[in-house]
Amino acid sequence: MGENFENFLSRFEKLIERFEKVAERLEESMNTLEMRVSQTYSDFAPNYFKPKRVCDGDEDLDEDEENTNDESIDENENVPFISSNPCNRNPDDDLMEAIVAENSNYQIDQTKWHLHPESAQYGGASWDSEITRVRKVPLSECFRIADADPRITFFFYNARGNLYLSNHDPDHPDKDTELFDAVFFSGKAWFGSAPQSDAYVKQIFGKDAWEM
């Protein structure tokens, strides 16, 4: 009887040791899991759970946003308007701001290009000589494109707003272009007045490219 009890006690002690080891491993696993969850939350939560603005017109805006909304835009200023109010912004605003910043610092090589301010290809003229067009690009990219293509002799760039020229040629709605769009042509230009745009003529040995 005594020997059987000792055997039982020995097996019971070994069983307790196993349970203790399992408990230790479980605790280690829980600690590891807790660390991973905490790290995942710290990486994910700031972006996903940030408070969202409610822009339903009922919420009172703070003083800075009220001033932004009440600001009147001078129609004589040739500066594209991009809202700083988060309720009014759209996905293109960041791109637009980047283009405005780059254009403001860009210097034109006047030995290679002749600027015709506030001009664009006339809407009533033929656009059969159009080579290509690009949308929402900085002015520097326009010069890169034009310099790389010997067919291009001039282009216009909408630096200050959308340009609607289809009223001159209703059969060609593609003559309407938007802010920061550019259209490239070969041959000789026929410029018309366009306060939203500027035109650039390629220069070769000091002369307009179409004269060469």
* CA proximity to 110, closest of 200, 197, 182: 200
What is the b/e burial string over 58-77, where b = at least 16 CB atoms within 10 angstroms of the residue's CB?
eeebeeebeebeeeeeeeee
pLDDT score for 88: 61
Biggest CA–CA distance in the chain, Å, is: 121
Residue given tokens 């829980």 in the structure block: 30
- What pLDDT was estimated at residue 50? 46
Phi first, then psi: give them for residue 75, nearest 5 degrees: -65, -15
Quote the pLDDT of residue 130: 97
Helices and strands of the chain, counted as H and E runs: 4, 6
What is the pairing mode between strands 154-158 and 182-185? antiparallel
The confidence score (pLDDT) of residue 208 equals 93
- Rounded CA-CA distance 140/132 in Å is 16
Can you say whether residue 205 is alpha, beta or left, with left for phi > 0 and alpha for psi between -120 and 50 degrees? left
Full-model pTM: 0.58
**From first to last of its 212 residues, what are the pLDDT tens digits of the chain?**
666 777 777 787 887 888 788 778 777 777 776 766 566 555 544 444 444 444 544 444 444 444 444 444 444 445 555 555 556 656 678 888 899 999 998 998 988 999 999 999 999 999 999 999 999 999 999 999 999 999 999 999 999 999 999 888 888 888 999 999 999 999 999 999 999 999 999 999 999 999 87
Cβ(137)–Cβ(99) under 8 Å?
A: yes
Which neighbouring-strand residues pair with 116?
199
